Amino acid sequence: MAKGPRRLDLSRYLRRKPLDLALLTGLAVVAFVFVEGLSRIYFAQQRSLAERWSARGTADLKAQNYPAAVADFRSSLLYARDNGIYQLDLAEALLGMKRTDEAYNYLINLWEREPENGMVNLELARIAAQREDTHQALRFYHDAIYATWPGNQEEETQNCRLELIHYLLRSHALAQAQAELMALEANIPDDSPEQVQLGQLFLQAQGYQQALHAFQLGLRSNRRNHEAMLGAGMAAFQLGLYPAAERYLRDAVITSPHDAQSMTWFKKARFVLETDPYLPDLSEVQKNRIALNAFATAGNRLKVCPAQGSPAVPAAVLQGLEQQWTKLKPQMTEWRLRRNPDLVNTAMDLAFQIERQTVIGCAAPTQADQALLLIANLHEEN
């Protein structure tokens, strides 16, 4: 009898609780659907606002109206906080306003989220280069080269490497520039007109052998390419290949007779050739005459040096050279040279010695002195 009311309570309780639970579930479902609808409206509006402000920003960026672009992109980021493209655009606008630190912070944050983003790495590299932070610049340039790029990956990578090479050349990091150029070279086909550009970069990086090779490849695809002729001539000249240099440079002058640079280098090459007594196919008379001129040039060089010497050339050295020159002078006649062919070598050795010793500490060398120096170096290498 006592259990009757308890059972009644329990059944009422059990009837009520599942009902409550069902009602709560229904309420939650209805509310969820309602908020889902609201969300769609809200986020559609957010997207639309972000795109609208970004479009304005892009237009302002193109018009180089950087302050307006900064405000626009900031607005677009209010509605799409994590959009990397807007952030990058904002960084570019800030860079346009020379607010490098702010731009750097935006970019570094982007980089932390997307370390493989090529554009972000490239912009960071540019900022580091601007700040003359070579270590960071190299790091970001390399990251940009090996990063992922939208669109043509190969082209973007090549452009990045080219930019890095230009930066290295500006920084006089020639060995690193040559290494990058070699990596670039591997990706340029032999018959590509870009070989000429590559050759010029090698030339700037003092990679003369590679430069000559690149120019030769360039000439192979276009025999009338003046740039390639000039470049090949200059590279050959630097390598001491004066006859080849003269040939390339002569062609360059013929192709572009008004180009002063080609003419200057051609004259230089010609002059070196005219000053070198060791060229093959020279008659004995020619050889002796060149040796006499070289000996006289060296004597004149000694005269422009201060008698008391200089830190680079001590007076004792100068005096010793002058004594040797004076001692040899009486023997330097065409007749004696004809009688004693070894005298040419003796005279040229002394002339080379004088030019080398006096290259620093005396007055600026004349064209003839420079030519003698070049021949001295070539002769020494051989």
* Position 131 contacts other proteins (CB under 8 A): no
The answer to whether the beta carbons of residues 305 and 313 sit under 8 Å apart is yes
Distance CA 230, CA 263 (A): 10
Closer CB to other proteins, 8 or 312, in the complex = 8
Site for other proteins in 244-283 (CB under 8 A): none
The answer to whether the beta carbons of residues 297 and 369 sit under 8 Å apart is yes
What is the b/e burial string over 353-379, where b = at least 16 CB atoms within 10 angstroms of the residue's CB? bbbebbbebbeebeebbbbbbbbbebb
* Position 59 contacts other proteins (CB under 8 A): no
Distance CA 68, CA 85 (A): 17
The answer to whether the beta carbons of residues 118 and 144 sit under 8 Å apart is yes
Distance CA 289, CA 80 (A): 82
**Binding span for other proteins by CB under 8 A among 48-56, 162-170, 193-201, 304-312:** 48-56
Tell me, by CB under 8 A, how many residues bind other proteins: 41
* Position 81 contacts other proteins (CB under 8 A): yes
* Position 8 contacts other proteins (CB under 8 A): no
Kindly state the smallest distance separating residue 63's Cβ from other proteins, in Å. 18
Kindly state the smallest distance separating residue 123's Cβ from other proteins, in Å. 16
* Position 106 contacts other proteins (CB under 8 A): yes
The answer to whether the beta carbons of residues 127 and 100 sit under 8 Å apart is yes
> At 29, phi and psi to the nearest 5?
-65, -45
Q: Which of 51, 65, 74, 239 binds other proteins (CB under 8 A)?
A: 74
Distance CA 264, CA 252 (A): 11
* Position 39 contacts other proteins (CB under 8 A): yes
Distance CA 51, CA 65 (A): 19
* Position 24 contacts other proteins (CB under 8 A): yes
Closer CB to other proteins, 135 or 172, in the complex = 135
Helix (H, G, I), strand (E, B) or coil at 371: helix
Closer CB to other proteins, 7 or 135, in the complex = 7
Closer CB to other proteins, 121 or 216, in the complex = 121
Q: Which of 9, 37, 45, 191 binds other proteins (CB under 8 A)?
A: 45
Q: Which of 44, 63, 98, 105 binds other proteins (CB under 8 A)?
A: 105
Kindly state the smallest distance separating residue 74's Cβ from other proteins, in Å. 4
Kindly state the smallest distance separating residue 140's Cβ from other proteins, in Å. 16
Number of other CB atoms surrounding residue 220 within 10 Å = 13
> At 124, phi and psi to the nearest 5?
-65, -40
* Position 55 contacts other proteins (CB under 8 A): no
What is the b/e burial string over 284-311, where b = at least 16 CB atoms within 10 angstroms of the residue's CB? eeebbebbbbbbebbbebbeebeeebee
Closer CB to other proteins, 81 or 329, in the complex = 81
What is the b/e burial string over 319-328, where b = at least 16 CB atoms within 10 angstroms of the residue's CB? eebbeebeeb
* Position 32 contacts other proteins (CB under 8 A): yes
Kindly state the smallest distance separating residue 32's Cβ from other proteins, in Å. 6
* Position 4 contacts other proteins (CB under 8 A): no
**Binding span for other proteins by CB under 8 A among 27-35, 129-137, 159-167, 184-192:** 27-35
Please give the residue ranges that form the binding site for other proteins (CB under 8 A): 1-3, 10, 13-14, 17-18, 20-21, 24-25, 27-28, 31-32, 35-36, 38-39, 42, 45-46, 49, 52-53, 71, 74-75, 77-79, 81-82, 101-102, 105-106, 109, 112-113
